[in-house]
Amino acid sequence: MAATIELVVTTIQQCIDAGASSTDAWTTTAVLWFALHGLVTVPQAITSVGWPPFDHLLTECVTRSVGLRHAATKP
């Protein structure tokens, strides 16, 4: 599991280095990890809510957790 987490940290750091994200790679990895686990478990636990489509939520969880921005909008 540690190798997987380290891979995510490295990938997020590459996004930061490329100017596509502007945050701390380790903290961002933790936030993303927690968000994705919630994405899977919350709809299973709370079935009475009409959640948005999974693919849309997955994209939003990754994009927002990592703070990704399109290269054309970087400062």
Structure tokens at 20: 């596509």
Q: What is the pLDDT of residue 45?
A: 97
Q: Which residues contact 4 (CB under 8 A, 6 or more apart)?
A: none
* Distance between CA atoms of residues 44 and 68, nearest Å: 27
Which tens digit of pLDDT belongs to each residue from 17-60? 988 876 789 998 999 999 999 999 999 999 999 999 999 999 98
Query: What pLDDT was estimated at residue 75?
Result: 46
- Supply the pLDDT for residue 23: 77
| Contacts of residue 43, Cβ cutoff 8 Å, sequence gap at least 6 | 49, 51, 54
Give pLDDT, residue 4: 93
Query: Is residue 32 a contact partner of residue 8, using CB atoms and an 8 Å limit?
Result: yes
